[in-house]
Amino acid sequence: MARSVNDPDINTANTKVLEKNNVGKKKNVGNKGIDLDADGKKLTKPTTAANTKNGPDCPPLGLKSLRVDDSQFQASSYQRMGLGPHRARLNIQSGIADGDMYDGAWCAEFEDQNQWLQVDALRPVLFTGVILQGRNSIWSWDWVETYKVQLSNDTETWKPCMNGTEEAVFDGSRIEPETPYLALFPEPNVARWIRINPQTWYSNGTICLRAEILACPLPDPYNIWQHLSEKPTGSTDNLDFRHHNYKQMRTLMKSVNEQCPRITRIYTIGKSYTGLKLYVMEISDNPGKHELGEPEFRYVAGMHGNEVVGRELVLNLMQYICREFRRGNPRIVRLVTSTRIHLLPSMNPDGYETAYEKGSELAGWALGRYSYEWVDMNHNFPDLNNIMWDAKENDTETVKTANHYIPIPEYYTKEDAFVTPETRAVISWMQDIPFVLSANLHGGELVVSYPFDCTRDWAPQEDTATADNSFFRWLATVYASTNLVMANPDRRICHSEDFQQHNNIINGGAWHTVPGSMNDFSYLHTNCFEVTVELSCDKFPHASELPTEWENNKESLLIYMEQVHRGIKGVVTDKLTKQGIADAIIKVEDLDHDIRSATDGDYWRLLNPGEFKVTAWAEGYFPSMRRCRVGVEAHATICDFALVKTPQRIREILAKGRRLPQDLQLKLRALRLRKLRASTRAINQRREKGRKARGGRSVRERRSFRGPRLLTPLA
């Protein structure tokens, strides 16, 4: 329940804000201290706009999250539709070219102090503050430096926001346009409409801004305003809906493990640059063991540390599965007993902690995206695409060119290779477990992209299909069509691209080329199919949005996991000994991408419905062919193979003339992996010695040595 503006607690808090912001200047209510507490010390808690030490705890109105509709914006003037008032949303991104319908701010047509941006809250609320940014543009630098605020209940009479007896002037952007600046009002104000009135702006630019507004809802016991407000949002699931820092994430995972010890196991796959462990939650009816014939699935979240929706969804998912399994939910019981599930909530914990310190409204678009070493991990995996394409161009007999299990390049295994410890850990993880299906959870858009991410000949945009293009499109469609927001035909586009015209799925290369992506590496180096899911327009939504994000994605997360049971599966064995054959090649006719059997001889080949001619072959064995029919049901067709050994003389004859025998390819792949792991151990040992020599300084202290870097990357 919102408190009255006469509440003594509010007045006390506002007095502190006023004192803090009026040091050395009576009239200007500043925000240069958003990184400091009331005593001038660096904040150690996340400085979200709705979690500051001073003032009422009010959430964002919803400009950034798109809860505020375009029709709720008005302005005194605007230069053109692409710079209209509806573009005045915090963190909104422009298109590549200025001048289109999707520029990155509201920009006034005239440069004077009579310009304003107006937002209708649809009902009376308690306004407590404004967050401002400049214009997002590759070509233009524009921002508002100071501004006033007016409020109204009828749009006829406007009351200025006061600082004592004088009209308050608030600080906006400084130096550059991307950093969000928070200004809390000296006193909260109840109103329905709010105006931001720029007073000064960047001297070499013009009046342009992006904004978020902080406002607490007021009680409405008689539902007077219900017809104007949006439909109720949230979730009926009783889950831990909040942002979890590293310590809180560990606590939650431990709690799930304690509640469901029979089906869960927590393990680590490595450490981040600063020493934070990469925790994984395994969910299975036999945790800790690969069961013959049971497929392995993974969700990876937080590759970009500031894209936090995936992290929280994965944490919610493990809570939900545990609870529903205990309740006997048939769907969840079936999923857990037939699938080994691995959930990595935070691949980039260093980046997340950086963004978390600022908070959901003040982290901006890029802070925390990169690793501690400023590496984009989705460009940090070996580029196997061009190795394969170059080999095919130089090979007249394409049968000799590997289309799967391509070894890591030699340069990538060296100690001085620019490979993050997090990337090394994930690659090693991929080798240890025979994953079949995966999704890489991102944020900042609403679309599902599928391989290949890297284009041929370095084209910036080009549809670059895999041999399994039809199945990848199916996987992407399964997620997108069951996501409540993506499936809504009336939804607003996030930034500048309309993915609804593609049914909310797109080939990665057709969107923008990404050499060294995890999706492509997973497909070409292992048996695992992987897509990227852009979960939300808002990379770092306020905690109050998390229940809605869970409801939007819950069914998608579950049904996508169930796709691991499509296609064919079986065991490749020695006909005489009945033992499983590892690394047997499974070749489907007319599909130029093979897969391999796991250590015990079991395999899984994801396929759409149809009838397929399938051949199994292993070094030293005669090939065996079967016709396997895949139905529309969501369970795999069993296609086992029993192979007969070839005599020694035949093996020698077959080996002649083959430039790279299959066993040599496997040996090279294993050798490169051993080298990568050896270099990783050496690097980790040096890093650990360095940490001890520095006295074990905290992550935050070590981070303070790194200077700021301004980046505006793609989603």
* pLDDT given at position 12: 35
* pLDDT given at position 654: 60
* pLDDT given at position 715: 38
* pLDDT given at position 663: 63
> What is the Cα–Cα distance from 340 to 154, expressed in whole angstroms?
58
* pLDDT given at position 2: 35
Write out the two tokens for 564: 């691991």
* pLDDT given at position 231: 54
* pLDDT given at position 656: 61
Q: Using the structure block, give the residue that is written with the tokens 């705890």.
A: 57
Counting as low any pLDDT under 70, the low residues of the chain are 1-56, 221-222, 225-233, 395-401, 649-664, 695-715
Strands 106-107 and 144-152, by their bridges, are unpaired
Neighbours of 12 (CB within 10 A): 10
Distances (CA, A) of 536 to 133, 241, 307, 371: 20, 16, 9, 21
Cβ proximity of 279 and 347 under 8 Å: no
What are the residues whose beta carbons fall under 8 Å from the beta carbon of 291, sequence distance 6 or more? 284, 340
Domain residue spans in the chain?
8-217, 266-565, 568-645
* pLDDT given at position 7: 37
pLDDT digits (tens, 9 = 90+) for 287-333: 999 999 999 999 999 999 999 999 999 999 999 999 999 999 999 99
> Helix, strand or coil for residue 439?
strand
**Which positions are catalytic?**
534
pLDDT digits (tens, 9 = 90+) for 590-627: 999 999 999 999 999 999 999 999 999 998 899 999 99
pTM of the model: 0.87
Q: Which CATH class is domain 8-217?
A: mainly beta
Distances (CA, A) of 443 to 304, 419, 616, 711: 9, 23, 40, 17
Fold of 266-565: Aminopeptidase (3.40.630)
Write out the two tokens for 163: 């600082």
574: left (phi over 0), alpha (psi -120 to 50) or beta: beta
Write out the two tokens for 656: 């002649």
* pLDDT given at position 227: 57
* pLDDT given at position 57: 83
Q: Which CATH number fits domain 568-645: 2.30.30.360, 1.10.10.10, 3.50.50.60, 2.60.40.1120?
A: 2.60.40.1120
Strands 568-574 and 637-638, by their bridges, are parallel
Average pLDDT of the chain to the nearest whole number: 87
3-state helix, strand, coil in the chain (%, to 5): 30, 25, 50
Distances (CA, A) of 478 to 144, 483, 550: 44, 9, 17
- In three-state form (DSSP H/G/I as H, E/B as E, the rest C), the secondary structure along 106-165 is EECCCCCCCCCEEEEEEEEEEEEEEEEECCECCCCCCCEEEEEEEEECCCCCCEECEECC
